[in-house]
Amino acid sequence: MKNLRTFFMEDPLENNRFKAKFNLGESGGRPRTVQELLTLSDLSEEKIVQEFLKISLCDSPNWGRPDLREIVSRMHAGSKVENVLITTGTSEALFLLFRYLKPKSVALAIPGFQLLYELPLALESEIIPLPVRWNQNGIPTINESEWLDILKEKKPECILINNPHNPSGLVLSQEFIDKIMQISLEISATIIGDEHYRFLSHETQQLGFTIYKNSPKVFVTGSFIKCLGCPGLRIGWCVGPTEALSYMQNEKNYTTHTVNPITEWISYEVLKNFESKLFLYMKEEWLETKRILKNFLDKSQAVYGMIPNGGLVTSLGLKKNYDIKSFQYVMKTVEKNGIFVLPLAAMEVGSFSFQKEMNLNSNHGSNINQGIGFRLGLGSSPQDFKSALEALELIL
């Protein structure tokens, strides 16, 4: 495996995470405390203390706590407990999975979360971009036939579907995913669904659909830690064929080995009931911040773009026609004023060949395609989010 390049978004995130007055750069929900997670999952404080103090800090089972695996399995119809491996965040699940698959080529939506193409690159896979473009109005779009043609022509060994998508907030339709699945069968490709935002992929359903099917060539990775604002919990999973998971679990023995029992206990308590107040409030807050953003975008004289269909991020552009240099200056000014948003350059937007071609053909769509824009996270309380957007408008 080759060296991994710098993880470009991490420095800006870390530099602002603990000091920005308004942190709109993250991709997850507002940070929640252990107390919030557990009391809103119907545990009394007395019970929490009792249970916590009783936890034995032994190694958890290598594949994860059986009752937790059982819950994750129930979220993926057609799977059994043996099809679930509990991991240290979705990142570890993806890391182990790519090391197992070692695909010669991977097709995925670009731009995308860096880890999703960086790992295959380090494994010397060819990356086949499935373009996501922003139109003049800042609406992220995909050309479905273009994606299907690319898949038919390039026949990637692996197709990765990040749904809902970071950083556009797009949610692919079930019908379109079915078409991709059909092609994957024809070209014998492995499918990976990165369903990190599944809990926030539908406005009314508690859990959006999954691409999971019980098949030797279908894998799903996921978690709840971004949606519920507890990324520090570091838990995730991979659902797939047992033999592959077994290989991955062996690699895990050399590194994180198991997820710690405290994390597994909290995760079990959280996941045992999707109808709990915790999930209810998460959804309500998400809908409220989406409404606030919609209102803001309808009126803003400085910013344009679309609210996310799913997940907690969207990518926005600036109405004034900045070049890269002046845009960077504006971003610095925003940051100095206590508001952090993630410049899209930190996700390499503008540097992929289809984006450069758009520029050359003066078929610009939006400047967002050239990296003149920012990723906005919706993970704040509605009050803070509203105040942050008002402050942002003033500065811009």
Ligand X SMILES: Cc1ncc(COP(=O)(O)O)c(C=O)c1O
Which token pair is 390? Answer: 């008002």
Reduced to 3 states (helix: H, G, I; strand: E, B; else coil), residue 333 is helix
The correct pick among 60, 79, 83, 223 for binding ligand X (CB under 6 A) is 223
Which 98-137 positions form the footprint of ligand X (CB under 6 A)? Answer: 113
Give the residue nearest to ligand X (CB).
89
Identify which of residues 89 and 343 has a Cβ nearer to ligand X in the complex: 89
Each residue 182-221 as x (binds ligand X by CB under 6 A) or -, in order, gives ------------x-x-------------------------
Identify which of residues 69 and 196 has a Cβ nearer to ligand X in the complex: 196
Interaction between residue 348 and ligand X (CB under 6 A): no
Interaction between residue 90 and ligand X (CB under 6 A): yes
227: nearest Cα among 211, 258, 206: 206
349: nearest Cα among 316, 379, 326, 320: 316
Q: Which stretch binds ligand X (CB under 6 A): 36-44, 223-231, 278-286, 380-388?
A: 223-231
DSSP track, 24-53 = ---SSPPP--HHHHHHTTT--HHHHHHHHH
Q: Which stretch binds ligand X (CB under 6 A): 56-64, 85-93, 246-254, 375-383?
A: 85-93
The correct pick among 64, 103, 236, 305 for binding ligand X (CB under 6 A) is 236
Each residue 16-55 as x (binds ligand X by CB under 6 A) or -, in order, gives -----------x----------------------------
Q: Which stretch binds ligand X (CB under 6 A): 86-94, 127-135, 271-279, 367-375?
A: 86-94
Number of other CB atoms surrounding residue 136 within 10 Å: 11
Q: Is 191 within 8 Å of 161 (Cβ atoms)?
A: yes
Interaction between residue 264 and ligand X (CB under 6 A): no
Q: Is 329 within 8 Å of 320 (Cβ atoms)?
A: no
Reduced to 3 states (helix: H, G, I; strand: E, B; else coil), residue 224 is coil
Tell me the HSE value of 394 on the side-chain side, using a 13 A CA sphere.
Answer: 9
Interaction between residue 267 and ligand X (CB under 6 A): no
Identify which of residues 90 and 184 has a Cβ nearer to ligand X in the complex: 90
Interaction between residue 95 and ligand X (CB under 6 A): no
Question: Running DSSP on this structure, what letter comes out for residue 276?
Answer: S
Identify which of residues 231 and 382 has a Cβ nearer to ligand X in the complex: 231
One-letter amino acid for residue 324 of the chain = I
Identify which of residues 147 and 197 has a Cβ nearer to ligand X in the complex: 197
Q: If you count them, how many residues does the chain have? A: 396
Closest contact distance (angstroms) between CB of 372 and ligand X is 22
Identify which of residues 256 and 337 has a Cβ nearer to ligand X in the complex: 256
The correct pick among 89, 140, 343, 371 for binding ligand X (CB under 6 A) is 89
One-letter amino acid for residue 61 of the chain = P
Reduced to 3 states (helix: H, G, I; strand: E, B; else coil), residue 315 is strand
Computed over its alpha carbons, how large is the radius of gyration of the chain?
A: 21
The whole-angstrom separation of Cα 7 and Cα 13 is: 11
Strands (E), 114-235: 126-131, 133-134, 140-141, 158-162, 190-194, 218-222
Q: Which residues bind ligand X (CB under 6 A)?
A: 27, 89-91, 113, 162, 166, 194, 196, 223, 225-226, 231, 236
